[in-house]
Amino acid sequence: MRPFLPAFALLAAIASPASAQCGGNFSDFVAALKTEIRAEGLSAGQADAFLSGVVQDARVLRADRAQSFFRKDFIEFSRLLVSQNRMQVGTANLAKYAAIFNRVEADYGVSRGVLTAFWGLETDFGAFQGDFNTRDALVTLAHDCRRPELFRPQIMAAARLFARGDFDIAGVGAWAGEIGQVQMLPLDIERNGVDGDGDGHVNLRGSAADALLSGAKMLQSLGWRANEPWLQEIVVPDGLDWAETGLETQLSTADWAERGVRAREGALARGLKGSVVLPMGRKGPAFMAYPNFSVLFEWNQSFAYVTTAAYYATRLLGAPVYQAGNPDPLLSLEDMKALQSKLVARGHDVGDIDGILGALTRAAVQKEQARLGLPADAWPTPDLLARL
């Protein structure tokens, strides 16, 4: 479940000279795709077979423009996703697939908790992998002129996978083209796919070993640091300088300790830098985000989703339920859009004015809070909206 594509997919897309082509007659678009696919080294027969029966999927475009799921606040979002059932099934799978997770950690240095968390949140451990035809979804999104540069390279990767027998044109997945039990895009699979079960193919839909090892290799390639933590619940003092919180500020754990920050359980990781993350401001849960936390944004760019996945991973490995505190409620959709518009008018980059409190909006909120002399904890309130 990813509302945005990984950063490396964007970089690959920018390098593609054909990425600007979109819109117009769909049949003409498909014909142009066939020509480009043949330029990738596939035969005319392979290109025809890959695109045989391709159709536009209106459901894909509706899903692309919706994504209201990501407008929930962290507490609501995490309580919804990290359910008792997901805890029980996740714990059972950690034991069932222990040998695979041993390989994950030995070969790629990625925590079994992190892989299990994404496995659970993306597809409920493979139980539901999506119901959109992957090939049709990618072609539909590449034809649509909103973000064609992101999706056309994914079509080319899917075609290359098809030529080697690792892409099923009838296969289904997520609306944005993600495939398999941990939901990887074709470029992900092409670059990081692992034949974990030794059958000669990379099958992320049917093989847990392939899916988990491929996901681990992808995280390693994105900069995951072996044997290091990613997220840890902390207790912060009332007098903390809130302007120092957020992912833009990284201090050593020794510096944070001097400021009165402490781990809720155990100790802060020695010798590492981290950021104090307050998903719902100074009155809500508090976490120390270590360098590996930022790597997870390459998998999914939603702040609420990444924080929830990282927290779920710690729970699977024994951490307690976080202390929720008593944060101010999330602004309504209309108020959040109004806030984003005011922030843009003041020169801030918040991305799309979509009512979603993402990382850019949080950073802009924090700067305006500091300017106005408010506690700069990056959590927007009606008072801030009124003052702007």
Q: What pLDDT digit, counting tens, does each position of 251-274 carry?
A: 999 999 999 999 999 999 999 999
pLDDT at 10: 37
DSSP structure class, residue 184: B
The one-letter amino acid code at 44 reads A
Over the stretch 292-308, which tens digit does the pLDDT of each residue have?
999 999 888 889 999 99
CA distance 321 to 328: 20
pLDDT at 146: 86
Over the stretch 105-164, which tens digit does the pLDDT of each residue have?
999 999 999 999 999 999 999 999 999 999 999 999 999 988 899 999 999 999 999 999
CA distance 385 to 164: 55
pLDDT at 55: 97
- In the predicted model, is pLDDT for residue 17 greater than 60? no
- In the predicted model, is pLDDT for residue 282 greater than 90? yes
What does the block give as tokens for 346? 């003041």
pLDDT at 6: 38
Regarding pTM above 0.85, the answer is yes
- E-state strands within 128-264: 132-133, 172-173, 231-235, 251-252, 262-263
Over the stretch 193-212, which tens digit does the pLDDT of each residue have?
999 999 999 999 999 999 99
Q: Name the nearest CA neighbour of 205 among 176, 159, 174.
A: 174
Which range among 4-18, 59-73, 176-190, 244-258 shows the weakest confidence by mean pLDDT?
Answer: 4-18
CA distances from 297 to 8, 278, 303 (A): 11, 17, 8
pLDDT at 21: 76
Mean local confidence (pLDDT), 178-207: 97
- In the predicted model, is pLDDT for residue 4 greater than 50? no
Residues above pLDDT 90, as percent of the chain: 87
